[in-house]
Structure 1
């Protein structure tokens, strides 16, 4: 007797792989399990203004990249007449404009879109080498040492030391802090003092994301390395800040804006929020990540639309298997109801049912005449195919003439399948009578309607298109149903007399 262990192992493998692929897609790409959810995208526009001096111009602006909580999905510029390039440097990404000669007031725009993404894929870059202590002289060095000593006594590690320093700078009574802030900014002073202790720290520029904000300026903050990751500190509160609605624009501590050939330069930011569908979010994220992936979303839109329907066919096959194997419903053809249901998706249910009944009914009448001619099978089937095409053409023209636009969609029906359906029903009528034709025809229509309802369900369409691993789970279920050898539900009436007895 053949062992069933390999079969059960195959079933288990299909389910595990299919579910793993789906969970991975949910966790990594953020695709939700249910349809109708929205993803938020922040659109940030930087406005660079400066006065050109009539000489070659070169403008460099720090730009953000994918980071904790955000995935960069798009960036572009509006700067007619200027050359433009995005450059990856050791100090981070920068947008650069250039022009041979320009004079007068200049305005450049740089826009990017950041997808709110809790699964954003970004590398944690630890600092390199040892910290070079800041060079401080005279009273500035004395004040810095005093602040450092006091903070050292009240701290236990790098993070708490930075927090205590910020508290001292926010203390209006601290003369040492006031002396340092006269010579440099608060953020630069804190980074300088931390360097005296050998702690890696840097000044970063952040934006508070609020929908509809205009002319917003960069907020200076400090990041401190805690030997595992960078910790962000709010200089006004002294607490470690979260990245919720906080976008790090300039994370390397380099100058935000550099202008050669111009004066009076400044940059401001405008922010708006918008919601997009999960499919759009997934498309944008896949395009943003330059990696080899086998997702349907990486295909052109036209091919995606085609696969959106193709991926529903396994659901129809599963329903057919359930109805035939467990329920015992008879259909005309094994998977003809699935193809009819696909046609119903294009035509809508009621026009599709009416069109199907008209075509098959008319075809049966014509087929009954062809049977009297005693034609060979191939010739008879060919004649039926041509007849079906003529019937569809006539019905379509009539529907158009009387103003029934829905009738135009009848051309979506699979003509070859309809021809074989008419042939099978005609033979069945001749051999077993009209009752069996009604039973199998009615079973086919019922199955097609159920498959149509499943195919047009938003949840089913969302799962099959966005989670390819579901197809493996469906395959495993069909294989399991293929081993069912018990009674069908339709056979229970055979035992009804026993119940009465």
Structure 2
């Protein structure tokens, strides 16, 4: 007897692979399990203004990167007459403009799109080298030492030390903090004290995201390395962690804007929020990361639309297998109901049912005449195909003439499948009688309606299109159903008298 272990192993492997792929899509690409959810996309525009003095101009501005909570989707610039480059440097990503000569007021634009993404993959590179050297005069050095001694006594690690230092600078009665703030900004003073303690820290710019805001400015924030990751602090409030509505712009802690050949430089930001569908978000993220190019979302939109229907066919196949193997429902052909259901998706249900009954009914009448001619099979099938085309053409024209626009969609019916259906039903009528034709025809139509309802369900359409692993799970279920050899539900009624005896 053949061992069933390889079969069960294959089914288990398919289910594990399907669940794993689906979970990966959800965790890494943020595709939701249910349809209808929206993803926030922030569109930010930086406006750089400066006065050129007639010399060669070079402008370098920090550009945002993918970070915690946000994935960089797209970026562009608007700068007529300037050469533009978006480059990665040891100072982080930067946008650079250059021109041989410019005079007067200059305005440059940089635009970026950031997708709100809890699964964003970002770099947490550790700091390199030693902490920056700090130069303080004697009074400042004495004040810094006193502040560090007090903070060190009330802290246990880098993070708590930073928190205590911020508290001291927020204390207006603290004379040592006031002395340092006479010559240094609050964030520079905090970073300097941390450097004296041997702790890597840097100043970054945080942009508060608020829909419809214009002329926004960057807020200075302090990032501290705790040995494993960079943690953000607000030097004004001491709040730890990055708020959800804050985007870190210059993540590497270097200058926000450098202008050579100009003066009175300034940068401001405008912000707009929009909601996009999960499909759009996934497509944009795949495109941005240039990963998993075998994903359906990496295809052109036209091909994606085609696959959106193709991916529903396995659901129809599963329903047909269940109805035939478990329920025992008879259909004309094995998977003809699936193709008819696909046509129903295009024509809508009522129009599709009426069109199907008209075509098959008229085709059976004509086929009954052809049977009297004793034609060969190939010639007879060819004649039926031509007849079906003519029937569809006539019905379409009539529908258009009487104003039934829905009737124009009847052309979506698969003509070859309908021709074979008419041929099979005609032979069945001759061999088994009209009753068997109505049983199989009714079973096919009922199956097609059930498949149509499944194919038009929003949850089913969302899962099959966005999670390729669902196809493996469906395949595993079909294999298990194919291994079923027990009684069908329809046979339980058939053998009911035996149980009564």
Report the secondary structure of 1:101's partner residue. coil
Q: How does 1:65-84 map to 2 (within 5 A)?
A: 65-84=65-84
* CA deviations over 1:469-499 (Å, ceiling 9, x no partner): 0101100110111111111111122233346
Report the secondary structure of 2:14's partner residue. helix
Using the TM superposition, give the Cα deviation of residue 98 of structure 1 relative to its aligned residue in structure 2, in angstroms.
1.7
Report the secondary structure of 1:474's partner residue. helix
Q: How does 1:26-425 map to 2 (within 5 A)?
A: 26-425=26-425
Measured in 2, the distance between the counterparts of 1:79 and 1:407 equals 54
1:133–1:198 contact (8 Å) kept in structure 2: no
Using the TM superposition, give the Cα deviation of residue 52 of structure 1 relative to its aligned residue in structure 2, in angstroms.
1.6
Structure 2, unpaired ranges of 5+:
none
Measured in 2, the distance between the counterparts of 1:228 and 1:404 equals 68
* CA deviations over 1:424-466 (Å, ceiling 9, x no partner): 0000111111111111000000000000000000000000000
Using the TM superposition, give the Cα deviation of residue 375 of structure 1 relative to its aligned residue in structure 2, in angstroms.
0.3
2:286–2:292 contact (8 Å) kept in structure 1: no
Structure 1, unpaired ranges of 5+:
none
Report the secondary structure of 1:183's partner residue. coil
Which stretch of the first structure deviates more once superposed, 46-55 or 347-356? 46-55
Measured in 2, the distance between the counterparts of 1:478 and 1:292 equals 27
TM-score (norm 2): 0.98
* CA deviations over 1:66-112 (Å, ceiling 9, x no partner): 00111111111222222211010001000111222222212222111
Measured in 2, the distance between the counterparts of 1:393 and 1:132 equals 82
2:36–2:277 contact (8 Å) kept in structure 1: yes
TM-score (norm 1): 0.98
Q: How does 1:426-465 map to 2 (within 5 A)?
A: 426-465=426-465
Using the TM superposition, give the Cα deviation of residue 141 of structure 1 relative to its aligned residue in structure 2, in angstroms.
2.0
Measured in 2, the distance between the counterparts of 1:494 and 1:161 equals 81
Report the secondary structure of 2:159's partner residue. helix
Using the TM superposition, give the Cα deviation of residue 49 of structure 1 relative to its aligned residue in structure 2, in angstroms.
1.1
Using the TM superposition, give the Cα deviation of residue 234 of structure 1 relative to its aligned residue in structure 2, in angstroms.
0.8
Aligned to 1:16: 16
1:68–1:243 contact (8 Å) kept in structure 2: no
2:17–2:472 contact (8 Å) kept in structure 1: yes
* CA deviations over 1:135-187 (Å, ceiling 9, x no partner): 22232222222222221222111111111111111111122222222222111
Report the secondary structure of 1:250's partner residue. coil
Measured in 2, the distance between the counterparts of 1:260 and 1:404 equals 70
Measured in 2, the distance between the counterparts of 1:408 and 1:450 equals 23
Measured in 2, the distance between the counterparts of 1:232 and 1:303 equals 44
2:213–2:272 contact (8 Å) kept in structure 1: yes
Measured in 2, the distance between the counterparts of 1:163 and 1:496 equals 79
Using the TM superposition, give the Cα deviation of residue 399 of structure 1 relative to its aligned residue in structure 2, in angstroms.
1.4
1:69–1:243 contact (8 Å) kept in structure 2: no
2:212–2:272 contact (8 Å) kept in structure 1: yes
2:345–2:456 contact (8 Å) kept in structure 1: yes
Measured in 1, the distance between the counterparts of 2:43 and 2:84 equals 20
2:65–2:251 contact (8 Å) kept in structure 1: no
Measured in 2, the distance between the counterparts of 1:285 and 1:243 equals 22
Measured in 2, the distance between the counterparts of 1:131 and 1:107 equals 37
Measured in 1, the distance between the counterparts of 2:156 and 2:274 equals 43
Which stretch of the first structure deviates more once superposed, 197-206 or 148-157? 148-157
Report the secondary structure of 2:40's partner residue. strand
Using the TM superposition, give the Cα deviation of residue 423 of structure 1 relative to its aligned residue in structure 2, in angstroms.
0.3
* CA deviations over 1:377-428 (Å, ceiling 9, x no partner): 0000011111111111111111112221111111111110000000000001
Aligned alpha-carbon RMSD (Å): 1.2
Number of equivalences: 501
2:61–2:96 contact (8 Å) kept in structure 1: yes
Which stretch of the first structure deviates more once superposed, 194-203 or 291-300? 291-300
Report the secondary structure of 2:267's partner residue. strand
